A and B are shown apart, each in its own frame.
Chain A
Amino acid sequence: MDTTVTTANNDEKIWGGGNEPLAASYGKMMMWFFIVSDALTFSGFLAAYGFSRFKFIETWPIADEVFTHFPFLHGSPQPMLYVALMTFILIFSSVTMVLAVDAGHQMKKTKVAVYMLLTIIGGLIFVGSQAWEWKNFIKGEFGAIETKGGSILQFVDKEGHQVALADFAIKHEGGREALKGNAATWFLTDADALPAYSVEDVMAGFEAHPDLLVRTEQLTDKKKKTILSREESVQRLADAKYVVEGANLKRNEYGNKLFADFFFFITGFHGFHVISGIIINIIIFFNVLLGTYEKRRSYEMVEKVGLYWHFVDLVWVFVFTVFYLV
């Protein structure tokens, strides 16, 4: 019955659901318990990430080398900056949300509406930033070789800077083209786009550039990736099996496939929460404009959706630490 707050005098219906043992309305308490279960879901994902990372502790990708893009700063790697910006956007939208709740306590309709709108805009900017981060991750930057055993081999110059496949691979004539549905065999198509270069192209380019070395996934005790000598590089490249460009659920040019899988899954699940939060915020925003809560004499609905929104921010704080910092 009492799913929304009422201003009726409840003192006389102790047994009729009017009792509030924790001094919180039914709706607010249920939002808290939903948050508990959702927090445990995210904890399960992050703990699973921790499991896989501990399992491959010596070969795990270095986040600072993976997420280096910043708008308008093309070509100069900027680790941390972009995700820091995203974090600030989300914290700030949390602040406007709590200001909306605060204005609701004082029954200031216009103020609530303005702060809700700012929160929605902040959320949209965050999801947009997330999409841009995904785009860069999926597209990749340098490209790499995957061996028969599933290891990733990247290419570096004498100074240890990574070199993109496009900068040295020698394109052969007559390579295989991606099989499309319109080419006679509609039932035999390539599920994935073929990489721009074949293994032969990369090998030929590697032989033509004696300065190039191979960098393996193995971390040194200085927490850097191991760079092999030229002889070792040639030896490792004999096992080359695929050319990997960018990251997807099957292959990942940055290193361990699980890193990409967890990144897509956890940030994706978080992004899904942000999107649903934005939608709920928009609904509540229109309710505020229509004066629903003015009539109810209580803005508790704003408080409830605020709880959800802060929870999304809370999860991001942990995702930020686990994926980008440690």
Chain B
Amino acid sequence: MAHDHVSNTKRIWFVFGLLSVITTVEVILGIIKPASLEFNHFLSLNLLNWIFYILTLVKAYYIVWAFMHMEGEKSALRWSVVLPVVFLVLYLLFILLTEGHYVYGVFKNSTIKWNF
């Protein structure tokens, strides 16, 4: 068998604690929105949003690896699930966000107006 059938409760509660702490940090940051983070940019994304996205990915990692037990699967299964999603999502985001930004520029700089 691929998995050992010993109890994992300790790890489950650890991951639950971690996810709760991360969510709490996100909510606190979302409420106070420190100006030093919100108005400083890195690679044209403000630092607050960087933190939110990174924490989200950390949460996603723990949900998939611990709760969905991906860490116990064969690496062939693991990567045949994870890599296509990661690649296609990055590709999709690149295309759509670039295009969205372009359309924004068209409305802003030309005589075409959308909402007025």
Contacts and interface: CB of A to CB of B under 8 A. Distances in A.
Nearest to A105: B5
Contacts of A326: 49, 52-53
A92 B49 CA distance: 25
B63 A317 contact: yes
Contacts of B116: 147, 149-151
Interface string B66-90: 1111000110110011001100110
Contact of B67 (A52, A64, A98, A324): A98
Interface string A56-81: 11110000100000000000000111
Contacts of B73: 22-24
A40 interface: yes
A87 B26 CA distance: 11
B42 interface: no
Contacts of B107: 55
A39 to B, nearest CB: 5
A110 interface: no
A310 B97 contact: no
Contacts of A84: 23-24, 27
B40 interface: no
Interface stretch (A43-51, A121-129, A170-178, A264-272): A43-51
Interface centre among B7, B84, B113, B115 (most CB of A within 10 A): B115
A314 interface: yes
Contact of B93 (A50, A92, A306): A50
Nearest to B38: A223
Interface string B43-55: 0000001001100
B81 A57 contact: no
By secondary structure, the B interface counts as helix
B60 interface: yes
Interface string B85-116: 10011001100110111011001100001111
By secondary structure, the A interface counts as helix
A282 to B, nearest CB: 20
A324 B7 contact: no
A149 B116 CA distance: 5
A129 B66 CA distance: 27
A78 to B, nearest CB: 9
Interface string B17-42: 00110011011001100000010000
A2 to B, nearest CB: 15
A256 B92 CA distance: 23
B76 to A, nearest CB: 6
B99 A79 contact: no
Given A80-B31, A311-B68, A32 B81 contact: yes
A281 interface: no
A87 B12 CA distance: 17
Interface centre among A39, A92, A217, A325 (most CB of B within 10 A): A325
A88 interface: yes
A50 B97 contact: yes
A286 interface: no
Contacts of A150: 114-116
B2 A24 contact: yes
A40 B104 CA distance: 25
B30 A80 contact: yes
Nearest to A95: B16
